[in-house]
């Protein structure tokens, strides 16, 4: 495979991305996310550039894989993100807080839930405000799944993705998990990854 072919290849086939709605943004766009937007549909929906999503998933996986599993925290206040982050954390061996983020988790050593992660992944910077705030105070880098309308305030690495869809969040975290495991050498390749996208989907 030439470098060019390699570069043009996506992590999964484009159809899976598209049918999962990974690229479907919102009716509003933020100035921060402008560079990740591919087009605006006739119905006014902003569509994300799938190639950029793919690139950023790779970059994020690289960043995550450099930390020890126990140094990574992934959160999702959003309901559709809760199963994906739980599955991701199970496979990667990191911390996860699906649901309400207990204030003080990163800042109050007196709490039972207190942890000192070295990196935070938020499913939605707007919905995961509390975790974001505490990570800012702890001075740890923040990866954010960001939809077309998200601000990237305090996010150090944005992954442009539909962070509201059930299937979309499943695909994003499934890919992140697979890529991290590959980079860590825990699996030898895509075929060695036994989890399925549907295992990551929130149940209705």
Q: With contacts defined by CB under 8 A, how many residues of the chain interact with other proteins?
A: 22
Q: How far is the CB of 140 from other proteins (least distance, A)?
A: 7
- Specify the residue, 79 or 138, whose C-beta has the smaller distance to other proteins: 138
- Which listed range, 54-62, 97-105, 106-114, 162-170, lies at the site for other proteins (CB under 8 A)? 54-62
Question: Residue 60, interface with other proteins (CB under 8 A)?
Answer: yes
Bridge partners for 144 per DSSP: 122, 158
Site for other proteins in 124-143 (CB under 8 A): 136-137, 139-142
Output the DSSP codes for 104-169.
TTTT-TTSTT----SEEEES-TTTTHHHHHHHHHHT--EEEEE-TT---TT-SEEEE--SS-HHHH
d(CA 27, CA 117): 34
By CB under 8 A, residue 73 contacts other proteins: no
Tell which positions 15-34 bind other proteins, by CB under 8 A.
Answer: 32
> In the numeric block, which tokens belong to residue 100?
């309400």
Write down the least CB distance from residue 115 to other proteins, Å.
Answer: 18
Task: Tell which residue, 72, 119, 122, 83, has the closest CA to residue 101.
Answer: 122
Which residues in this chain contact other proteins in the complex, by CB under 8 A?
Answer: 32, 59-60, 62-63, 66, 119, 136-137, 139-142, 144, 151-158
């Amino acid at each position: 495979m030439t470098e060019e072919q390699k570069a043009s290849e996506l992590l999964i086939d484009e159809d899976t991305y598209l049918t999962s709605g990974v690229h479907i943004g919102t009716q509003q766009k933020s100035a921060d996310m402008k560079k990740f937007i591919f087009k605006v549909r006739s119905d006014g929906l902003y569509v994300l550039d799938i190639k950029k999503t793919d690139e950023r998933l790779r970059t994020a996986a690289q960043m995550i894989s450099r930390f020890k599993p126990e140094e990574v925290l992934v959160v999702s206040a959003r309901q559709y993100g809760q199963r994906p982050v739980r599955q991701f954390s199970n496979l990667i061996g990191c911390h996860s807080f699906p649901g309400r983020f207990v204030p003080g988790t990163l800042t109050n050593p007196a709490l039972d839930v207190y942890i000192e992660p070295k990196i935070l992944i938020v499913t939605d910077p707007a919905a995961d405000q509390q975790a974001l705030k505490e990570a800012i105070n702890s001075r740890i880098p923040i990866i954010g799944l960001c939809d077309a309308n998200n601000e990237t305030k305090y996010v150090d690495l944005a992954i442009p993705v539909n962070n509201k869809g059930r299937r979309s969040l499943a695909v994003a975290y499934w890919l992140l998990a697979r890529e991290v495991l590959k980079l860590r050498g825990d699996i030898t390749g895509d075929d060695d990854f036994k989890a399925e996208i549907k295992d990551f989907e929130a149940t209705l």
